[in-house]
Amino acid sequence: MPYDPATAEARWQKAWADAGSFTAIRDQRPKYYVLEMFPYPSGRIHMGHVRNYTMGDVVARFKRAEGFSVLHPMGWDAFGMPAENAAMEQGGHPRDWTYANIATMREQLKPLGLSIDWSREFATCDDAYVAQQQALFLDFLDAGLITRKSAQVNWDPVDMTVLANEQVIDGKGWRSGAAVQRRELTQWFFKISDYSDELLSALDGLSGWPDKVRLMQANWIGKSRGLQFRFDTVDAPEDFAQIEVYTTRPDTLMGASFVALSPDHPLVRALAAADPAVAAFVEECRRIGTTEEAIETAPKLGFDTGLTVRHPLDADWQLPIWIANFVLMDYGTGAIFGSPAHDERDHEFATKYGLPIRATFGEAGMTLEQADAMVAKAPYVPMKSEPVTYVRGFAGATDQTGEAAVDAAIAHAEAAGYGEGVTKFRLRDWGISRQRYWGCPIPVVHCDKCGTVPEAKENLPVLLPQDVSFDQPGNPLDRHPTWRQTTCPHCGGAALRETDTMDTFVDSSWYYARFTSPGAATPTDRADADYWMNVDQYIGGIEHAILHLLYSRFFARAMVKTGHLPDSAREPFDALFTQGMVTHEIYMSRDDRGRPVYHLPEDVTDGRLADGTEVEVIPSAKMSKSKKNVVDPVNIVESYGADTARWFMLSDSPPERDVEWTAAGAEAAHKFLSRVFRLTEDAPAGGGDDPDLTRSAHRAIAEVTKSIEGFAFNKAVAKLYELANAVGKSKAGGESRKAVLRIMAQLMAPMVPHLAEEVWAMAGGQGMLVDAGWPKADSAMLEDDIVILPIQINGKRRAEISVAKDMPKDQIEAMVMADETVRRFLDGAAPKKLIVVPGRIVNVVA
């Protein structure tokens, strides 16, 4: 009977569900919490999901077999813009769109046979989740973790709406095409910057995280040491006798050529009020979006105010004050001094506006003239740890590293009293206000009498109104006829609801904690959280290495502070694994005008379309709908079964690297699994022992265990290919063969759980394999059966031979006598003595 995955997989999935095999239970076993980053309900699962969830499932099933009480949940990151976009484009309601997508994707996921506790499933747009997220917000507000301040947003002047950063494309609104402007709005912020230092230093303790991710987090937090100091101004308006700047390179002070202010600097505001030219320049700067990337890549723009400052080290030396679009108001002091010789941006700016470029230091040994000549064309920006020669130094030695010179410059400023050494972080507070509908409402009200007032907990949840339309731009909550009107929880008077909703990153910053008790009437249940936290193994894409993980780390700390998590959960993810992508070749032809036309893999056979047209094959790249190089997991599962998809995903490359999906690879995986089934089915009833096969099985236990523990799933798969081949070749029969088949089933179970159950049952396994536990290797069988014996001739070690461990003495003696070196020493004579110490050494006396 050939293997029929369709019926077998459905049968086992039902058996596991009926037995409640994957229900996570708090009991006396040690716990293990494995979590894969939960999906956004876009409408269909893709191969990336299959890879991610298969890896998590291998870990979950393995740990379960090892005797852990495993929590392996699934949910939906369900708020966000695509649902609103769909409503705008196709009509309908974001809620209906989202829940319909969830239903579809759940039905696509279930046939993969993942060992998920589906009873814990939730979506972040569920009323219950919204309620608890709002409760958390109120607790955070109470604990001083939230603030309200003014910040810049992207404003679309045609659609009259705030745009998210991803809706700004090349500085233009994604729908209107209008040039985006910056506007100031009062917004809500989580005070993540209070934790900058701790979020940075705690990275050292995250030994279960990839170094790469820790480094990315550290760079994002961006700790820097520098000097904050004041320039005295000349002829500036009242209140601006001094301008304070922040620099990380105070050692370059003698190469300063200008001071630059942010367009939002208070002095610029004062100047703009009096001078329309300044106001117009500021307006021009506002046309760049608010993203750091937009500001970084925009052309450098400057405006000379005509004002000057005195150099702190030379009162006769005056520097011009410019306004520059690349100086941000919310970093440092919103003002800098420029040293074009040693900074890319300053160089570009100075070159454009004809400002002096004067070297402070050059390569080791350079003269002032040589250094000036070098920086005339391009800035010289060596690592701070590199030794250089100061040609315009002012503190310390001429030859020193940048680091030492910075320290000396700070000491100099502090001694002379014009500045102080300070530490700054790049990390900004986390602005969570979104002027959109499909998100978690921020639970506060605005009262004319009391100001901004938190909603009372007993009035939660504040739910979104259902009767909204998306036929006009802007936030439907703003124009809803009644939703805003409420009463002030403080004075009982009329008040208006906040219409901002929360950034969807908030939703995904604590879902891992909610999974420990998804039905609790509080954000978490402490007994459950204490038992299940932390996540022992978190798995997801590298694209979440910065923001999602940083926000989650902050949230865990905030939840500890507000009593929702134990102190031991400050770092919520003990180990993190970032998996590679799934790639596929791209197939392309051209239309009559030469434009590229892409084709789905299923429409291409041997490099040709059905009508015979040859396609160009472009090397493998990340699966993407626009290039049509996608394979639908649903089709793969339908034609081969889930086990084939799972096996192939795990087999071809290490999990951290990209895997290329090929039809031939899927075919080969399917063939192998069918062969394993046949091997079991055709097992001869009679026949004897095969100690070699038994030994191979025990070695496989040791190696597969080690490979799974080390996330080397491809090695585990390779080992199982080897074991299956050994079974195929062996003459072993009866119980001896079945015992090996059962071990093979146990070892395969985390990867191909359905087939493994079949093999287990056919090989006489008791009960379901899912309850059978993990096999133990017999250590006696792991010992090497080959030993290397040194040969000593006349007391000196001269050679060695490798022999079977249990080789009889006379055979060893024969091998020694045949050895090349021994024969040379004996030169035809018989040895005076030949002593074999089995397993140890051979002594020859010539």
Nearest to 537 by CA among 710, 295, 665: 710
Q: Stretches 125-133, 134-142, 334-342, 595-603: which one binds ligand ANZ (CB under 6 A)?
A: 334-342
| Cα–Cα distance for residue pair 56/541, rounded to 1 Å | 13
Instruction: Identify which of residues 261 and 743 has a Cβ nearer to ligand ANZ in the complex.
Output: 261
| Cα–Cα distance for residue pair 258/268, rounded to 1 Å | 16
Residues 6+ apart with CB under 8 A from 611: none
Instruction: Identify which of residues 4 and 448 has a Cβ nearer to Zn ion in the complex.
Output: 448
Residue 343 interacts with, from ligand ANZ, Zn ion, none (CB under 5-8 Å by kind): ligand ANZ
| Cα–Cα distance for residue pair 255/339, rounded to 1 Å | 6
Q: Stretches 111-119, 172-180, 332-340, 811-819: which one binds ligand ANZ (CB under 6 A)?
A: 332-340
Residue 291 interacts with, from Zn ion, ligand ANZ, none (CB under 5-8 Å by kind): none
Instruction: Identify which of residues 335 and 807 has a Cβ nearer to ligand ANZ in the complex.
Output: 335
Residues 6+ apart with CB under 8 A from 487: 493, 494, 495
Residue 730 interacts with, from Zn ion, ligand ANZ, none (CB under 5-8 Å by kind): none
Instruction: Identify which of residues 100 and 491 has a Cβ nearer to Zn ion in the complex.
Output: 491
Residue 490 interacts with, from Zn ion, ligand ANZ, none (CB under 5-8 Å by kind): Zn ion
Instruction: Identify which of residues 309 and 447 has a Cβ nearer to Zn ion in the complex.
Output: 447
Q: How far is the CB of 336 from ligand ANZ (least distance, A)?
A: 4
Is 625 annotated to bind a ligand? Reply is yes
Residue 484 interacts with, from Zn ion, ligand ANZ, none (CB under 5-8 Å by kind): none
| Cα–Cα distance for residue pair 53/372, rounded to 1 Å | 58
Residues 6+ apart with CB under 8 A from 561: 143, 145
331 sits near ligand ANZ (criterion: CB under 6 A): yes
First to last CA, the chain: 67
Residues 6+ apart with CB under 8 A from 698: 743, 777, 778, 781, 782
Residues 6+ apart with CB under 8 A from 743: 697, 698, 700, 701, 775
Instruction: Identify which of residues 378 and 491 has a Cβ nearer to Zn ion in the complex.
Output: 491
Nearest to 818 by CA among 840, 842, 796, 785: 842
* Residues 342 to 371 in contact with ligand ANZ, rule: CB under 6 A: 342-343
Q: How far is the CB of 347 from ligand ANZ (least distance, A)?
A: 9
Nearest to 141 by CA among 436, 443, 429, 451: 443
248 sits near ligand ANZ (criterion: CB under 6 A): yes
Residue 508 and residue 77 in contact, taking contact as beta carbons nearer than 8 Å: yes
Tokens of 548: 């999602």
Pick the binder of ligand ANZ from 128, 328, 621, 634 (CB under 6 A): 328
Other CB atoms within 10 A of residue 77 CB: 19
Tokens of 832: 């005076």
Sort 473 into a burial class: Cβ within 10 Å, 0-12 / 13-18 / 19+: middle
Residue 716 interacts with, from ligand ANZ, Zn ion, none (CB under 5-8 Å by kind): none
| Cα–Cα distance for residue pair 634/459, rounded to 1 Å | 44
* Residues 250 to 269 in contact with ligand ANZ, rule: CB under 6 A: 252
| Helix ranges (DSSP H) in 598-690 | 633-640, 642-651, 663-681
Residue 336 interacts with, from Zn ion, ligand ANZ, none (CB under 5-8 Å by kind): ligand ANZ
Residue 39 and residue 141 in contact, taking contact as beta carbons nearer than 8 Å: no
Nearest to 140 by CA among 492, 564, 545, 723: 564
The neighbouring-strand residues paired with 497 are 445
* Residues 448 to 487 in contact with Zn ion, rule: CB under 5 A: 449-450
Instruction: Identify which of residues 176 and 486 has a Cβ nearer to Zn ion in the complex.
Output: 486
Q: How far is the CB of 446 from Zn ion (least distance, A)?
A: 9
Residue 449 interacts with, from ligand ANZ, Zn ion, none (CB under 5-8 Å by kind): Zn ion
Residue 450 interacts with, from ligand ANZ, Zn ion, none (CB under 5-8 Å by kind): Zn ion
* Residues 378 to 437 in contact with ligand ANZ, rule: CB under 6 A: 424, 426
Instruction: Identify which of residues 221 and 586 has a Cβ nearer to ligand ANZ in the complex.
Output: 221
846 sits near Zn ion (criterion: CB under 5 A): no
Q: Which residue is listed with tokens 């990390």?
A: 427
Instruction: Identify which of residues 247 and 499 has a Cβ nearer to ligand ANZ in the complex.
Output: 247
Contact characters 179-218, ligand ANZ, x per CB under 6 A: ----------------------------------------
Instruction: Identify which of residues 491 and 835 has a Cβ nearer to Zn ion in the complex.
Output: 491
Residue 68 interacts with, from Zn ion, ligand ANZ, none (CB under 5-8 Å by kind): none
Q: Stretches 79-87, 308-316, 325-333, 734-742: which one binds ligand ANZ (CB under 6 A)?
A: 325-333
| Cα–Cα distance for residue pair 620/431, rounded to 1 Å | 38
Residue 16 interacts with, from Zn ion, ligand ANZ, none (CB under 5-8 Å by kind): none
Q: How far is the CB of 479 from ligand ANZ (least distance, A)?
A: 37
| Cα–Cα distance for residue pair 652/658, rounded to 1 Å | 9
How many residues bind to Zn ion according to rule CB under 5 A? 6
Nearest to 553 by CA among 201, 44, 820, 845: 201
Other CB atoms within 10 A of residue 657 CB: 11
Provide the sign of the torsion angle of the four alpha carbons 196, 198, 199, 204, taken in this order: positive
787 sits near Zn ion (criterion: CB under 5 A): no
Residue 447 interacts with, from Zn ion, ligand ANZ, none (CB under 5-8 Å by kind): Zn ion
Q: How far is the CB of 384 from ligand ANZ (least distance, A)?
A: 10
Antiparallel, parallel or unpaired: β 31-36 and 537-541: parallel
Instruction: Identify which of residues 455 and 528 has a Cβ nearer to Zn ion in the complex.
Output: 455
Q: How far is the CB of 265 from ligand ANZ (least distance, A)?
A: 9
332 sits near ligand ANZ (criterion: CB under 6 A): yes
Q: Stretches 45-53, 230-238, 240-248, 351-359: which one binds ligand ANZ (CB under 6 A)?
A: 240-248
How many residues bind to ligand ANZ according to rule CB under 6 A? 19
Instruction: Identify which of residues 356 and 688 has a Cβ nearer to ligand ANZ in the complex.
Output: 356
Pick the binder of ligand ANZ from 119, 224, 487, 639 (CB under 6 A): 224
* Residues 487 to 546 in contact with Zn ion, rule: CB under 5 A: 488, 490-491
Contact characters 407-446, Zn ion, x per CB under 5 A: ----------------------------------------
Q: How far is the CB of 456 from Zn ion (least distance, A)?
A: 12
Q: How far is the CB of 494 from Zn ion (least distance, A)?
A: 9
Instruction: Identify which of residues 81 and 268 has a Cβ nearer to ligand ANZ in the complex.
Output: 268
Pick the binder of ligand ANZ from 337, 511, 531, 532 (CB under 6 A): 337
Residue 312 interacts with, from ligand ANZ, Zn ion, none (CB under 5-8 Å by kind): none
Other CB atoms within 10 A of residue 470 CB: 20
Residue 700 and residue 719 in contact, taking contact as beta carbons nearer than 8 Å: yes
* Helix, strand, coil percentages, rounded to 5, for the chain: 40, 20, 35
Residue 764 and residue 71 in contact, taking contact as beta carbons nearer than 8 Å: no
Residues 6+ apart with CB under 8 A from 359: 255, 341, 342, 368, 371, 372, 374, 375, 380, 391, 392
Residue 72 and residue 57 in contact, taking contact as beta carbons nearer than 8 Å: yes
- Known binding-site residues equal 625
Annotated binding site for ATP: 625
**Interface residue list for Zn ion (CB under 5 A):** 447, 449-450, 488, 490-491
Summarize as ranges the residues that interact with ligand ANZ (CB under 6 A): 224, 246-249, 252, 326-328, 331-332, 334, 336-337, 339, 342-343, 424, 426
